Amino acid sequence: MFGPPGSGKGTQASRVALRLAIPHVAAGDMLRNEVARGTDLGREAKPIMDAGGLVPDDLVVRMINARLNQQDAAKGVLLDGFPRTVPQAVTLDRMLKVRDDYVAEVISLEVPDDELKTRILKRADVEGRSDDTAEGLANRLVVYHQDTWPVLEHYRSVGTRIETIDGVGDIDTITERIVTALRHHGISVTST
Ligand code: ADP
């Protein structure tokens, strides 16, 4: 699940993963969990996350690789927030290849920047996430356009299927847009 901060990719990924009956692997949630537990990784990641930057690739890659080694990941996972840089994507492709696996599909949620800013500042009031400040957000958008957007180009160049989904609308409608697109590609998705 690919998309800018505030695009709703976390919400959609968890709904779609349920319907695909595979684990939802969310890099941001996993990192926040490390921060909450006060692990070495969490201590290193926290200031970077709060500033809206990216946690170093090697740390994130190690965390995701460990997750993919867990047994419930054997039948596939829905990745959310990873890969977020081209080097992460290249490493992921290698990690999957040794498992005889590959990225089956990229779902790209598209939301205009203005709408993203409104949504995130609203979320800041509700959830109080420590990176949902005006400054953290501005940085995350810059990082997204600079470092993350090229990931899509990477997958386009290696011929991975990319499904572009309009991310503006209500939550159920967007889920149905994604489910419909997956079904068109012969991927079986349960109806609720
Ligand atoms: P959002 O998509 O709203 O920015 P996430 O929960 O996906 O929220 O990510 C929150 C923060 O966690 C990011 O701004 C970044 O600092 C860190 N992070 C998440 N995924 C990655 C990743 N793949 N590589 C590096 N940093 C990451």
pLDDT digits 0-9 by tens, 134-181: 888 889 999 999 999 999 999 999 999 999 999 999 999 999 999 999
Q: Is 4 in the pocket of ligand 1 (CB under 6 A)?
A: no
pLDDT for the residue numbered 126: 86
Assigned architecture for domain 9-184: 3-Layer(aba) Sandwich (3.40)
Query: In this structure, which residue's CA is closest to atom 1 in ligand 1?
Result: 5
The domain limits of the chain are: 9-184
Return the ligand 1 atom nearest residue 80 CA.
7
Are 17 and 78 within 8 A, CB to CB?
yes
pTM: 0.94
- Distance between terminal CA atoms of the chain? 19
pLDDT for the residue numbered 67: 98
pLDDT digits 0-9 by tens, 6-58: 899 999 999 999 999 999 999 999 999 999 999 999 999 999 999 999 999 99
Q: Quick check: 74 pLDDT over 80? A: yes
* Ligand 1 center–CA 186 separation, angstroms: 30
Q: What's the one-letter identity of residue 123? A: R
- Measured CA to CA, the distance from residue 19 to residue 165 in angstroms comes to 17
Query: In this structure, which residue's CA is closest to atom 23 in ligand 1?
Result: 82
Q: Quick check: 192 pLDDT over 80? A: no
Q: Is 84 in the pocket of ligand 1 (CB under 6 A)?
A: yes
Query: In this structure, which residue's CA is closest to atom 10 in ligand 1?
Result: 28
Return the ligand 1 atom nearest residue 82 CA.
23
Q: Is 54 in the pocket of ligand 1 (CB under 6 A)?
A: yes
pLDDT for the residue numbered 163: 96
pLDDT for the residue numbered 47: 96
pLDDT digits 0-9 by tens, 83-142: 999 999 999 999 999 999 999 999 999 999 899 988 888 888 888 888 888 888 889 999
Nearest to 174 by CA among 9, 23, 4: 9
- Measured CA to CA, the distance from residue 78 to residue 5 in angstroms comes to 17
Q: Is 48 in the pocket of ligand 1 (CB under 6 A)?
A: yes
Chain centroid offset of residue 12 CA: 10
pLDDT for the residue numbered 127: 84
Question: Which tokens go with 126?
Answer: 């509700």
- Measured CA to CA, the distance from residue 85 to residue 116 in angstroms comes to 20
Are 3 and 111 within 8 A, CB to CB?
yes
Q: What's the one-letter identity of residue 24? A: H
Point out which residues pair with 176 in neighbouring strands.
Answer: none
DSSP string, 48-92: HHHTT----HHHHHHHHHHHHTSGGGTT--EEES---SHHHHHHH
- Measured CA to CA, the distance from residue 120 to residue 133 in angstroms comes to 8
